[in-house]
Amino acid sequence: MKTSPMMLEILNNKLTSITEEAGFTIKRLAHSLFIREMSDFGTALANHEGHFFAYPSAIGVSNFVDLDCGPTIRAVPDLEPGDVIVTNHPYASQGLSTHTPDINLVVPYFYEGRLVCYGWSFLHISDMGGKVPGSISPTSTEIFQEGVLIPPMKLMRRGEFDPNVLAFMTSNTRSPDPNLGDLKAMLTAHRFAEQRVGEVIAQHGLDAFLQCQEDFIDYSADRTREIMRRIPDGRYEFWDYLDDDLVTTLPVRMRLAIEVEDGLLTLDYTGTDPQSGAAFNVPTAGKRHAFLTAGLMMLVTTLDPAIPKNHGILRDVKVKIPEGTVLNPVWPAATGVRHAAGLRARDVINGALLKAMPDVMPACSAGVIIPVVFAEPASAEREGNVMVLELMMGGLGAANELDGVDGRGGSLANMLNNPLETVEDSASVVVRDFTLVPDSGGAGKWRGGCGISFTFEVLRDGCTVLGRGMERMRFRPWGARGGLPGHRARTILNLGTQGEQEFGKIDVVSLNKGDTLTIVTPGGGGFGDPFERDVEAVRRDVVRGLVSRASAEADYGVSLTEDSAVDAAATARLRGVSRSAPAEFAWGEEREAWETVFDDEAVNAFVEKLSAYPAIERAVKRREVLMRLFPELADRQTAFAKILSPERRDEFVAAVETL
């Protein structure tokens, strides 16, 4: 590093601050509710290659550090002062934008006529056209249904809007005025940031400014390498599933092998299922991408909270992602709800890293963010209304020496749930229950966090609830190192009445006056053998009502007396029984049943065979094979154990061979 130890600290503070100030400016001026309420936007400074050397830690989306502006910059040569590049094209920008509503701007910053760095910002705009308002629907089958595509091009030339580009953008949206307001908010932020960059250069010199871009990245890379060297060299494999992609009932598998050598990591996603015919695909262009490495960055920031967040953290990570998979789809696959696949991709990297760093990584968390979308018809008192009634998180996974958090989310976004009082004020419902679910956290030496149950009663006829973000209704959040999996998600109509009815994943449910709907989020997985859990901790969980007496005995081997004291003799008896050695992971019954047929070897072969077909045909072919062999898979409510068994594996293998 050429920058002095003092200047590095000073400049890093100042330049990070500029990205944050730009972020606050966007948040203050933007029109879109996605920005004002959910902070779905980002800012950063990029070097000449398009990599971020300064990134905010306190505003906007926290984990887009590993995005790459390079392809966008290279697509638009001959940049002059005042020029602004715009794109929302997931394929043309090679994953800088990951779905069409994310408008990205890349702006060359000049100082005394010389290009000194690039400013980047993105913002989730209200609407980019396409088949539904807001442009995103899980059922979109091609990206053309998700709105207008803007490959990297100049939005402004020498400080003036290109009228053609602007006219084209505003003509293809349902919300031209707010969109324009959002663009202006971003442009204001860039003007401000460019000016502040100029002030820093004036104070500290151009050489220092150019040099520090390189040194920040080296600095973070060095600190990261120190952490990664704690991972023993080797190959760590893991896979996990999405329940389905909503348009079909078939699970989607993501498979990862992390190879580690002297602190250098290669992520190999070979064996991941073909790209989805629905909008669940993550457009990575087959390169390392923020949606894949977010979990890795979390590991680094967990072990080194003060590390400057920049390209250096991920720089030395290599990836291999076969084309035509759900994590590297080819045009024109839809990508609107890539977020759901992103959540699962994070569980996959989490699981592989857990094998590598078992003392640090937690068991699987709930892995869902469920917005309960409620619609009621217009009435004399109220307008017709569609709203997010509640935003539900589940339990977090337990880790070594750490119980999982009950009922709160670590998540990709930075959102709050709704107070019940505003829920009742805004919609014709009464909330009956919003509590933790006892026993839902996976048992373990360290207990997984409990999920949440939300029950509301509808006060009017003709209301509907849309299923969004519902996942882990089949595949439970796994436990690790002897810990048990967390409970799965559920949806139940009229719980506790004669008409009680459980759904699987719901698309739309109609509700009439007096009906109740209960939505239950998953618990986190447990960590370590529950029979080794501190007896007092088990007793406390029982007293607090988070673990039942029955589970205390069966899962933890702890017996309590009537007045909630530990019955030492009975506990010793329970814990003294010899048991089989705990498994490295506990998956739950659905995954176990699924893998009686679809084990790793068989599925790898299947994926390999499918890869011979053109990318857009693979999902169709896959579905054809599976539904021909197992037509019962069409029903979401039938347990896999009733459909699948080890005897049927041979049929599947044979079918794959004939492909």
Partner 1 sequence: MTKTKLRFRIGVDVGGTFTDLVLSDSQTGRLVFFKEPSTPSDPSEAVEKGILGLLDRAGLQPADVDLIVHGTTIGLNAIIQRRGAPLALVVSKGNRDIFEIGRGKVPDAFDLRSTKEDSLVPRELVFELPARTLYDGTIEERPAPEDYDRLVAALKASGVSAVAVTFLNSYLHPELEAEVAQTIRERLPGVLVTASAAIWPEIREFERALVASLNAYINPLMGAYFDRLEERLAGNGITAQLLLTTNNGGTLGLDTVRARPIETVLSGPSAGVVSSARLAELAETKNIITFDMGGTSSDMAVSVGGKPELATYTTVGDFPLMLPVVNVSAIGAGGGSIIWVDGQGVLKVGPVSAGAQPGPICYRRGGTEPTVTDCYLVTGMLAEDGFLGGRMKLDRESAQKALDALAEKIGLTGPDRACLLAEAALQIATAKMATELLKTCAKRGLNPREFTLIAYGGAGPTHANFLAEEIGLSAVLVPPSPGTLCAFGALMTDFKRDYVRTIRRRVDGADGEVARLIPDLAESLRVQAAEWLEQESDIAGEIVTSWTADLRYAGEGHELTVELEGAAIEPGGMETIRESYHAKHMAIYGFQELESEIDVISLRSQVVGKMPEIVLPVVAPRGAGKPPTETRRVFSRGAWIEAAVVARGDLFAGDVVHGPALVTQEDTTTWILSGWKGTMDSSGIITVTRS
Across 224-293, the runs of DSSP E, i.e. the strands, are 234-242, 252-261, 264-268
**Least spacing, CB of residue 315 vs partner 1, in Å:** 15
What one-letter code names the amino acid at 228?
A: M
Task: Please give the Cα distance from 293 to 65 (Å, whole number).
Answer: 9
Q: Which residues of 352-364 are buried (b: 16+ CB within 10 A; e: fewer)?
A: bbbbbbeebbbbb
Length of the chain: 659
Nearer to partner 1, 75 or 566 (CB): 566
Cα–Cα distance measured from residue 368 to residue 636, given in angstroms and rounded to the nearest whole number: 18
Helix (H) or strand (E) holding 150: none
Examine residue 126 and tell whether it contacts partner 1 (CB under 8 A). Answer: no
- Rounded Cα distance between 245 and 84, Å, is 37
Size of the site for partner 1 (CB under 8 A): 73
Rounded to a whole number of angstroms, the minimum distance from the CB of residue 396 to partner 1 is 7
d(C-alpha 630, C-alpha 112), whole Å: 68
Which residue is listed with tokens 């109740």?
516
Instruction: Give yes or no for a contact between 395 and 546, defined as CB atoms under 8 angstroms apart.
Output: no
Name the residue nearer to partner 1 (CB basis): 325 or 516: 516
Contact 185, 114 (CB under 8 A): no
- Is residue 160 within the footprint of partner 1 (CB under 8 A)? no
Which residues from 498-557 bind partner 1, rule CB under 8 A?
Answer: 543-546
DSSP string, 473-529: SSSPPPEETTPPPPPPPEEEESTTSTT-EEESS-SEEEE-TT-EEEEEPPPPPPBS-
CA of residue 627 relative to chain centroid, distance? 29
Nearer to partner 1, 46 or 452 (CB): 452
Q: Nearest approach, Cβ of 167 to partner 1 (angstroms)?
A: 21
Site for partner 1 in 433-472 (CB under 8 A): 433-436, 452, 455
The nearer residue to partner 1, 247 or 298, going by C-beta atoms, is 298
Q: 214 or 608: whose CB is closer to partner 1?
A: 214
Query: Which one among 75, 415, 466, 602 touches partner 1, defined by CB under 8 A?
Result: 415
Amino acid at 514: G
Contacting partner 1 (CB under 8 A), which of 95, 101, 409, 524?
409
24-29 CB contacts, 8 Å cutoff, 24+ apart: 24/59, 25/185, 25/188, 25/189, 25/192, 26/60, 26/121, 26/123, 26/185, 26/186, 26/189, 27/59, 27/60, 28/185, 29/181, 29/184, 29/185, 29/188, 29/189
Per-residue mark of binding to partner 1, 594-623 (x: CB under 8 A): ------------------------------
Q: Residues near 112 by Cβ (< 8 Å), separated by ≥ 6?
A: none
Q: Which long-range contacts (CB under 8 A, 24 or more apart) does 494-503 make?
A: 495/455, 502/637, 503/637
Subset of residues 283 to 322 that bind partner 1, contact rule: CB under 8 A: 298-299, 301-302, 305
H helix intervals, 87-205: 163-170, 176-204
Q: Could you tell me the smallest distance in angstroms from the CB atom of residue 381 to partner 1?
A: 10
Q: Closer to partner 1 at the Cβ: 362 or 469? A: 362
State the burial class of residue 565 (Cβ atoms within 10 Å of its Cβ: 0-12, 13-18, 19+).
exposed
- Which 332-371 positions form the footprint of partner 1 (CB under 8 A)? 360-362
Residue 492 sits in the site that holds partner 1 (CB under 8 A): no
Output the smallest distance, CB 648 to partner 1, in A: 39
β-bridge pairing 508-511 and 463-466: antiparallel
Figure out which of the listed residues 43, 47, 62, 94 binds partner 1, where binding follows CB under 8 A: 62
Tell me: does residue 231 bind partner 1 (CB under 8 A). no
- Is 180 strand, coil or helix? helix
- The answer to the question of residue 431 lying near partner 1 (CB under 8 A) is yes
Q: Which is nearer to partner 1, 492 or 655 (CB)?
A: 492
Q: Please state the closest distance from residue 136 (CB atom) to partner 1, in A.
A: 19
Which one of 282, 399, 443, 535 is in contact with partner 1 (CB under 8 A)? 399
Candidate ranges 234-242, 386-394, 566-574, 616-624; the one touching partner 1 (CB under 8 A): 386-394
The residue (of 266 and 385) whose beta carbon lies closer to partner 1 is 385
Q: Return the number of the residue (151 or 181) whose C-beta is nearest partner 1.
A: 181
Which span (28-36, 40-48, 599-607, 644-652) binds partner 1, by CB under 8 A? 28-36
Shortest spacing between CB 587 and partner 1, in angstroms: 21
**Given the complex with partner 1, which of 222 and 507 has the nearer CB atom?**
222
SS3 assignment, position 402: strand
What value, to the nearest 5°, has the Cα angle with vertex 74 and ends 69 and 78?
A: 120
For partner 1, the closer of residues 73 and 405 by Cβ is 405
Smallest distance, Å, CB 434 to partner 1? Answer: 6
Q: Residues 49, 214, 316, 424: which binds partner 1 (CB under 8 A)?
A: 424
- Between residue 170 and residue 199, which ones bind partner 1 under the rule CB under 8 A? 181
Least CB distance from residue 480 to partner 1, whole Å?
13
Using an 8 Å Cβ cutoff, are 557 and 530 in contact? Answer: yes
In angstroms, give the least distance from the CB of 37 to partner 1: 5
Q: Does 406 bind partner 1 (CB under 8 A)?
A: yes
Q: Which of 533, 305, 297, 587 is nearest to 400 (CA)?
A: 533
Contact between 247 and partner 1 by CB under 8 A: the answer reads no
CB of 485 to partner 1, least distance (A): 19
Stretch that binds partner 1, among 133-141, 205-213, 402-410, 630-638 (CB under 8 A): 402-410
